[in-house]
Chains A and B, each alone.
Chain A
Amino acid sequence: MAEEVLRLEGITKIYPNGFMANKDISFSIGANEIHALVGENGAGKTTLMKILFGMEDCQEGKIYINGQEAKIENPLDAIAKGIGMVHQHFMLLPSLTVAENVTLGVEPMKNGLFDYQGAVKKTQEIADKYNFKVDATSKVKDLSVGQMQKVEILKALVKGARILILDEPTAVLTPQETEELFEQLFALRDSGVSIIFISHKLEEVMHICSKVTVLRRGQCMGTYDTKDLDESKISRLMVGRDVILKFEKEDPKIAQNVLEIKDLVRINSFGKHVIDGVTFNVRSGEVVGIAGVEGNGQSELSEVIAGLEGFAEGDIILNGKSIKGMSVRQIRDNGLAYIAEDRMVEGVAGDMSIKMNIMADRFDKKEYKNGLFVNDKKINEEVEKHIKDFEIMCDGPDQPVRMLSGGNVQKVVVAREFTSGANFILANQPTRGIDVGTAEMIRKTIVRKSREEGTATILISADLNEVLECSDRLLVMRKGKVVAAFPKANEVSEEELGEYMLGLKQMSDKQMEGLL
C-alpha cells in the first residue's frame, strides 16, 4: 500500500436527538488514491466527512494526518491541514466572479487592496495546471452546474488541499459532465492529491476508485480493493441484500384526465420565465415522471400546482376545475395531495408532535371535531393506525417530529398525504436523503395507488433510477420547458435521458405530440 496520508480511528458521533450517525469507524487513505466512501442515504457518510472537515465534533475517535494526530476544530483548521471539501450543495457567491470565489479567504493583495488581476492570474494558473476549463472572469451565476463544481474544487486546491473530499459530486451532473469530472480527478490523483469520493453510484465507484470503504447504518463494513469487488458485492455490503434495481409493475389502466396544464408561464421576481409555456396532462391511473437537472423549473412547477405560488399565464385544471384563484385548502379539497421537496420546510412542522403533523390537513374537518373541540379519541385512533401502517419508528404520537430520522419524518409526510383521499398526488423528490427501505415503501405505494385506486401522479425526481423505475410516461424539463417526452419510462436509457437533460438534444412539438 502507498504511504498513508490520512487515518481515522474509532470515530463515534451521536447527534443531540440521540441519533447515532457514526459508530466506531476506522479506515485510512493512501497517497495518490481515489478512495470511495459508499453507503445508503443516511449511512453516515456525510456526517463522517463533516467531522473530518471540522464542521461537526465527534464524541470519540482520533484523526491522524501523515501519521500525526490532528485536532480539527473547525473548517479553517481543516483547510490549514490540507483538507478540502466540495459539498453536495455548492457554497459559492453567485454574484462574484470565478476568480473572486476561488481566492476568497486567500486574496492576493496589492498596496493593501484586493488585487483582482492577481486573483484572475492565480485562478487561471491553477485551472490550467489541472486542465480545468473555466473562465476566471465570468460570474458564477452564469455558469453551468458542472462548471460551478469545478470552481468548488479550485477553491480547495488554491488553498493547498492535499486531501480532497467530494460529497456526491455526480448527483447534480449529467452523464457527460460526470465523465469530464472523472478525467480531472484522475489528473489530480496523478499529481499527488488523495481524493475521498462519496457516492452511492456503484458503477462510478468501480470505474474510478482503487479502494472502497463501505458504511452501513453508521458502522464501517470494512475497506476493500475495488479489484476484488463487483457492484453486487458492494451493494450487499451496503444494504445487506441486493438492491432491487428493476421494479415489477402492471401496465397502467389509464382513464380520464385528472390534471391538465395548459401553456403555463411563471415569471420570477427577476423577470425570468422559470416556467415557460408548459403543457401536459396527467390521467387517472398513471404515474408521470419528470426528470431534469435540478433548477430547471421543477420546483417552481410543483409550487404552482400545489397552490403555494401563483402563475402569470396559462391554466391548471384539476378534476375539471381551474385552480386559478383557489386557496390551497380548496385545491386540496378538489383532490390534491402534495409531498413537498423540502420536507422540513413544507412537509412538517418540526417542533410539533407526530400526531399534529399527520392530522395537519384534516383536524379542521367536521369528522374530527366535537362541536368546537377536536375529537381526541378519533384523532388518536387514526394516528395510532397510521403510525402502525407506515411503520413510523417513534416513542409515540406526541413525540416532536424533529426528533425522528429523515426516513421517519418522510413517513409522517406520506402517512398524511397518501391517506387524504386525494386522486392526484404531486410527489417532488419523495425519497431524497432517506433510507432504502422507506424509499422503496414510498415508491411501491405510489405505484400501487395508481394501479388499485386509479390515482394520477406526478413524480419529480433527481434520482434517475427512481423516475425510470416508477413512472409510466416520462417528461424531461429543461430551462422551464418540457423538452422531451417518452411513452414508456423503463425503455429510456440513462445516457439518452442525460442528453435531453443537458440540452444536447431536444424533441420537436411534433415528436412529443400525443405524449404530453
Chain B
Amino acid sequence: MKGSRKTQLIESIMEVVRIVAGMAIAYGVALLILFLISDDPAFIIKQFILGPFSSPRRIGSIINLAVPFIICGISMCFMYAVNKFNLIGESIFMLAGCIITFVGVKIGNSLPMIVMVPLLLIIGAIVGVVLAFIPAIMDRKLNANVVVVSLMLNSVVAQLAIWILRYHMRDTTIGYTASEIIPESMQLPNIFGSLKIGSGIIIALILVVIASILFFKTSFGWKMRLVGANPRFAKAVGFSTLGISFAAQLLGGAIAGIGGATEIMNSYKRYLWMATTGHGFDGLLVAVLAKKNPILVPIGALFLAYIRIGADVVNTSGDIPYEFITVIQGIIILLVAAESFLSGTKNKLIFREVQKEEEKKKALQAKEEAK
C-alpha cells in the first residue's frame, strides 16, 4: 500500500545527506570567516584544512583529542536516549579526573599498571554514578528540571574539585597550582610510535563497542530506547519508565567518570584543572551529531577533533583567534539539530518516487488488460 522500500531508503539517505550538508555548510562558513578576517587567507585556509594532517604528531593529536569526545559522546547518548538532558557529565569529568589523581598519587607505584588502570577507571565510574544520581533523583522525586539542576550542580562540583586540588593535593614544590606528578603505573603508554597516540583510544573504542551492544542487543537497551521514544507507550506496555531513565542516567554518569579518568591517564602528567573542561558539552554535541547512536559517535568525535586541531593550527601559525571555532560549532549544531533542514528536497524525492511507482502500476494494469 504505502511506504515502499524506496521511500525508506530515501529517508535514510537524506538523513545522512542532511548531516553531511550541515557539516559542509559550517565548514564553508569557517572558510569564509577565515577569508574575511585573515591577512593571508590562502595560507590560513590551507592551514585550517590540511594543517591537522601535516605531521604525524598532529594526526596523533586528533586521535588523542577525540578520546574524551568519544567517551563523553557515549555518555550523552545514554542521557539523550531516555530524553533526559542531564548535563552533569561536564563536572563529573573534572571531579573524576581530580579524585583518581588523588587516589593514584596516594597509591604511588606500588600496584602494577594492569591493576592500577582498571581500579582508577572504576573509581572514576563511581564518582560519575554518585554525581549523576543527584539531578536524576531531584528530577524524579522533586520534579526539578534536570537541565537546570545539572547545570547548577556543575558549578558546585567544579568548586569542590578546585578545593581538593588547592588544599589536599597541591604540589608545593612547583610555582603553579597542580598535583604531584602521577605515578607511572597510571600513565597510559603511547602506541603507534611516531603518531604518539595514547592507548586511551583503546578504552574509548571498547566503550563504543560495549555501549553499542547494550543499546541494540540487550533488553535494557531496547527498554531505554523505547522509553526515550515514547514514555507513555513504554508505561502502557508495562515498563517502569522512571526506573529505566534513572538507570540510563547513572550509566551515562559512570561513563563520563571513566572519561575524566581516562583523560588524566592518557594526556596529563599532573592534574591541574582549575575549571571544568567543556568535555561534557562537547559530548552533547557529539551525541547530537551521531543521532544518539553510539556506533556513529567516533565519527562525530573525530570530526570535532579535526576542526579543533585545525583551529589550533591556524591559531599558532597565523593571526586567527581560537575562539572562531565556537562559531563553527554553533552552526553545526543548528543545522544538524534542525530536523526540517532539507526536508523540502526529501519530500520532492519521495513524491517523484511514488509517482513513478504509480505509473509503473498503471502500465502493468494496461498490459494485463491487453492480455
Contacts and interface: CB of A to CB of B under 8 A. Distances in A.
B182 to A, nearest CB: 35
Interface in B37-51: none
A395 B4 contact: yes
Interface stretch (A77-85, A245-253, A317-325, A361-369): A361-369
B92 interface: no
Interface in A4-60: 14, 16-20, 23, 59
A447 interface: no
Interface stretch (B114-122, B234-242, B267-275): B234-242
Interface string B203-245: 0000000000100011100110110011011111111100000
A332 B240 CA distance: 13
Interface in A477-494: none
A16 B223 CA distance: 28
A349 B230 contact: yes
B232 A346 contact: yes
A395 B230 contact: no
A408 B1 contact: yes
B218 A17 contact: no
A351 interface: yes
Contacts of A348: 230, 233
A215 interface: no
A204 to B, nearest CB: 29
Interface in A344-376: 345-352, 356, 360-361, 363-364, 368-369, 372-374, 376
Contacts of B225: 352, 356
Interface stretch (A67-75, A223-231, A398-406): A398-406
A403 B226 contact: no
A329 B239 contact: yes
B226 A18 contact: no
A408 B229 CA distance: 19
Interface of A is mostly: loop
B350 A18 contact: yes
B238 A332 contact: yes
B350 A14 contact: yes
Contacts of B11: 403
Contacts of A399: 3, 8
A443 to B, nearest CB: 20
Interface stretch (B66-74, B103-111, B168-176, B351-359): B351-359
A18 B236 contact: no
A363 B232 CA distance: 18
Contacts of B235: 308, 328
A17 B238 contact: no
Interface string B318-361: 00000000000000000000000001001100110111001000
Interface of B is mostly: helix
Given A18-B353, A329-B239, A373 B229 contact: no
B112 to A, nearest CB: 30
Nearest to B11: A403
Nearest to A398: B8
B8 A403 contact: yes
B230 A350 contact: yes
Nearest to A19: B2
Question: Which bucket holds chain A's interface residue count?
Answer: 35 or more
Nearest to B351: A14
Question: Which bucket holds chain B's interface residue count?
Answer: 35 or more
A16 B2 contact: no
Nearest to B6: A18
Contacts of B358: 20, 23
Contacts of A372: 218
A403 B15 CA distance: 15
B223 A19 contact: no
A144 to B, nearest CB: 30
Contact of A350 (B2, B229, B354, B355): B229
B8 A351 contact: no
Given A20-B358, A345-B233, A374 B218 contact: yes
A364 B343 CA distance: 36
Interface in A368-402: 368-369, 372-374, 376, 393-396, 399
A141 to B, nearest CB: 25
Interface string B11-22: 100000000000
A382 to B, nearest CB: 14
Given A346-B232, A349-B233, A393-B2, A356 B353 contact: no
Query: Most chain-A Cβ atoms within 10 A of its Cβ — which of B1, B232, B343, B346?
Result: B1
A340 B354 CA distance: 32
Contacts of B233: 345-349, 360
A352 B238 contact: no
Contacts of B346: 16
Contacts of B355: 14
B141 interface: no
A338 interface: yes
A311 B12 CA distance: 45
Contacts of B217: 373-374, 376
B3 A308 contact: no
A25 to B, nearest CB: 14
A18 B3 CA distance: 5
Query: Most chain-A Cβ atoms within 10 A of its Cβ — which of B3, B5, B343, B351?
Result: B3
A17 B199 CA distance: 45
Interface in A140-169: none
A360 B225 CA distance: 11
A395 B236 contact: no
A352 B229 contact: yes
Given A329-B239, A340-B236, A369-B219, A16 B229 contact: no
Query: Most chain-B Cβ atoms within 10 A of its Cβ — which of A18, A352, A360, A399?
Result: A18
A327 interface: yes
B5 A356 contact: no
Interface in B239-287: 239-240
The 7 A-B residue pairs with the shortest CB-CB distance, nearest first, are A18-B7, A329-B238, A349-B230, A349-B229, A19-B2, A361-B237, A393-B1
15 contacts: A17-B3, A18-B3, A308-B235, A328-B235, A332-B237, A338-B236, A350-B229, A363-B219, A364-B239, A372-B218, A374-B222, A403-B2, A404-B3, A405-B2, A405-B3
Interface of B: 1-5, 7-8, 11, 213, 217-219, 222-223, 225-226, 229-230, 232-240, 343, 346-347, 350-351, 353-355, 358
Given A327-B238, A360-B233, A364-B222, 10 more contacts: A18-B2, A18-B350, A328-B236, A346-B233, A349-B229, A356-B225, A373-B217, A394-B3, A395-B3, A404-B3
